[in-house]
């Protein structure tokens, strides 16, 4: 195999991985709608996908029964509301029909300037 073939294979693999990663992030966004995270002091209720301006998967751990993501989020309740940066731990459990969110834990939430 020559250098050009190796390079093209690497670029294609990277493109597929990024596409799969983006699709996984989109599924996470959809699953978060209706969920809440945080407590009395700092909390967020995901009411629509429009509130999630950005979602980046930072870490993913998975076994046969459980899947845990650590994600970075940029959130904004409404167009004129302040934006927030958040970090969350999203835990899924495997059910008979697939994966279902068990818990969304707020790790940090701060208003962006």
Predicted confidence (pLDDT) per residue in 60-83, tens digit: 999 999 999 999 999 999 999 999
Determine the pLDDT at residue 35: 96
Q: Rounded to an integer, what distance in angstroms lies between the CA atom of residue 59 and that of residue 40? A: 27
Domain span at residue 57 reads 3-111
Report the domain count for the chain: 1
Q: Rounded to an integer, what distance in angstroms lies between the CA atom of residue 51 and that of residue 95? A: 28
Q: Give the number of other Cβ atoms within 10 Å of residue 108's Cβ.
A: 12
pTM reported for the whole predicted model = 0.78
Looking up residue 88, the CATH number of its domain turns out to be 3.10.450
Q: Rounded to an integer, what distance in angstroms lies between the CA atom of residue 61 and that of residue 18? A: 18
- Pull the structure tokens for residue 50: 């429009």
Kindly give, in sequence order, each residue whose CB lies less than 8 Å from that of residue 24, ignoring residues fewer than 6 positions away.
57
Residue 74 phi, psi (nearest 5): -120, 120
């Amino acid at each position: 195999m020559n250098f050009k073939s190796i390079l093209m294979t690497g670029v294609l693999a990277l493109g597929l991985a990024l596409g799969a990663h983006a699709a996984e992030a989109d599924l996470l966004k959809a699953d978060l709608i209706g969920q809440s995270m945080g407590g009395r002091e700092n909390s967020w209720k995901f009411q629509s996908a429009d509130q999630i301006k950005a979602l980046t998967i930072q870490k993913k751990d998975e076994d046969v029964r459980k899947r845990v993501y650590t994600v970075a989020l940029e959130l904004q309740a409404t167009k004129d509301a302040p934006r927030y940066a958040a970090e969350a731990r999203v835990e899924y459990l495997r059910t008979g029909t697939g994966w279902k969110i068990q818990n969304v834990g707020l790790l940090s939430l701060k208003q962006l300037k």
